Each structure stands twice: as C-alpha cells, then as structure tokens.
Amino acid sequence: MELNEAMIPLEVHNMKTTDSSWVLITGASGGFGEEFARQYAGQGYSLVLVARRLDRLQRLAEALRRQHPVDVVVEQVDLSSVEEVVQLHQRLLERGIAIDILINNAGHGLHGPFLDAPLDASLAMIQLDVASLTAVTHVFAQEMRTRGRGQILLVASMLAYLGVQKYAVYAAAKAYVLRLGEALHRELKPDGITVTTLCPGMSYTGFAAAAHQTLTPALKQLMMQPAPVVRAGIRALQAGRISVVPGWANKATVVFIRTTPRWLHQTVISRIMNGPD
Ligand SMILES: NC(=O)c1ccc[n+]([C@@H]2O[C@H](COP(=O)([O-])OP(=O)(O)OC[C@H]3O[C@@H](n4cnc5c(N)ncnc54)[C@H](OP(=O)(O)O)[C@@H]3O)[C@@H](O)[C@H]2O)c1
C-alpha cells in the first residue's frame, strides 16, 4: 500500500529517525515493561511501547525522548484481542518500523481459590497470558525470519516450575510460556532468532495488586525490584541463553523445586505464597 502525507500519523513527523534497532515492549505502561523501556532506551534502542493505558505510555515516552536520543512510538492496544495484535503489526509495517527485539511481557495473575474466581476471569487471563503472547510471538517472529535475525524475550514466572495452590491457572499459564520459549529457542535458532524466557519471582510491580494477592511476610523477604530482574532478562537475551531466573534467592528456590519431592516443595512454596492454611 502506498502511503501519502495525510495518512502518516503525526508522531512519524516528530521522530528523530535514528538508525538504531527497534524494540517492541508489551505491557510498557508499568512494572517490568516500563523498566525494560528505560534500560533499552539507555542502550540507545528505539522503542515501540504497547499497553492499554495511553496516558502512562505517553508520559514515559516523553521522558525517554528527553533523556535519550531515541525514537519512541506509543501504541494503545488491548492485547487480549488477537485482531488488535494483527492490526498493531500492520500499522508498524505501514510506518516502516521493523521490530528487531520483542519483549513479550504483558500479562497478569489471578490469586485465590480456583472455584471462587468467576470462570470468565480465569479465561481472560489465559487469553492474555497464553493466547495473546502466542499471537504476538507468531506475528513478529514471521517478520524476523524473513530478515534472518531477531531476539524475543518471553516473560514467564518462577511459578512456571510448579503448580501452586490459589495460583492454579496462572501457574499453568506460565508453564505454557516456559515450555513454548524452550521449544522455540531451538526451533528458531536456525532462522537467526534468539528466544529466551525470563522467569521472575515475586517483584515490586503492579502485579500483586492486579492479581489481588496479599503479600505474606515470607514472600516480602524474597521480593526483588524490577531493575535487576529486567537487567538479568536483557543480559540473558543478549547472551542467547534459553532461559533465566533472576536473583540468587529465586535461583535457590528453583534448585529446591528440582531436587525435592513434589509434596515437599509444593507445601513450602504454598506457605510462602499463601501463608498458613
Ligand atoms: N511482578 C511479579 O511479581 C511477577 C513475577 C513473575 C512474572 N511476572 C510477569 O511479568 C509480566 C509483567 O508484569 P508486571 O509484574 O510488570 O505487572 P504490572 O506492573 O501489573 O504490569 C503489567 C503490564 O501489562 C499490561 N497489560 C495488562 N493487560 C493488558 C492488555 N489486555 N493489553 C495490553 N497490555 C496489558 C499493563 O498495562 P495496561 O494496564 O496499561 O494495559 C502493564 O503495563 C507479566 O507477564 C507477569 O505475569 C510478574
């Protein structure tokens, strides 16, 4: 399709047209996503910031443009809709923006007894954390394969390593993300695409509030700030690793999960996450 002047969004005219690579970050309006934006902008990458809360994305974009010589494009998208994902990709193509690095980060949790949550809430979470993440990965990896290069980071969770009481659907959704990432790491390597999965433990973002989780004292001891989590994710992706668990306490927890019987680690981790029964 030919683009004429009138069709080009205003933001294109304001772009600095740096020749740096483009990073697309989903869920960039807060938490890890916002931190990914800050760290990649600090490394000189241009950014496409995606989420639903436009005001937050715009404030972040303005701050990053002031602080760094990078282009920042804001895209208000409800990623629960696969149609909106496809339209996002189409809009970026029309603007001549090819994504070199995809940070597939948007997601949310849902804490509480499985049977007490409305079925719709669980299915909506699966739609975002599983279906949409798969769609975003599929759409942008196609384009990367055509160019013979690209990097994709999938944000899973430490809960991908075990089923956890009161986080049943979320833990299962994140297990899907980890398995998808591990498989694609091998499968897409010959196409020049690196796929890395980041498995954070509980961290200080908007996650707990959005998931309606009350933080137990034990959990607070283990929580991380977003900056080191994101730094570990970017480093692992740049190093071409299959997956990464950030922080020594989280790494130790994964060793504990892998080396102990299921009844033991499920009991201990359920206590940490949920408090005593
Ligand atoms: N923080 C933790 O403890 C923790 C631990 C392990 C894994 N994770 C994972 O880390 C990822 C990022 O979460 P976070 O901790 O940074 O939480 P957060 O602060 O709540 O951020 C979630 C981000 O996802 C976006 N989002 C949610 N629904 C969306 C939708 N339908 N369409 C587009 N964007 C949407 C939100 O933006 P809008 O609301 O503006 O749309 C927000 O930018 C998630 O995948 C989460 O599962 C978090």
Domains defined along the chain, listed by start:
5-215+222-251 (3.40.50.720)
What confidence tens digit (pLDDT) does each residue in 18-68 have?
567 999 999 999 999 999 999 999 999 999 999 999 999 999 999 999 999
Q: Are residues 56 and 32 in contact, defined by beta-carbon separation less than 8 angstroms?
A: no
Mutate to test the pocket of ligand 1, among 24, 104, 108, 225 (most ligand atoms within 8 A of CB): 108
Counting from 1 in the atom list of ligand 1, the atom nearest the Cα of 78 is 32
Write phi, then psi, for 216 (nearest 5 degrees): -80, 155
pLDDT tens-digit map of 232-266: 999 999 999 999 999 999 999 999 999 999 999 99
* pLDDT at residue 18, rounded to an integer: 54
Measured distance between the N- and C-terminal CA atoms of the chain, rounded to whole angstroms: 60
pTM of the predicted model, to two decimals? 0.93
Share of the chain above pLDDT 90, in %: 91
| Whether 45 is catalytic | no
Residue 206: predicted pLDDT: 94
Which amino acids bring their CB within 6 angstroms of ligand 1? Answer: 27-33, 51-53, 77-80, 105-109, 128, 155, 157, 200, 202-203, 205-207, 210
Please tell me the distance between residue 190's alpha carbon and the centre of ligand 1 in angstroms: 31
Residue 86 has pLDDT above 50, yes or no: yes
- 226 three-class SS: helix
pLDDT the model gives residue 20: 79
Q: Which of 40, 167, 170, 176 is catalytic?
A: 170
User: Which ligand 1 atom minimizes the distance to the CA of 208?
Assistant: 3
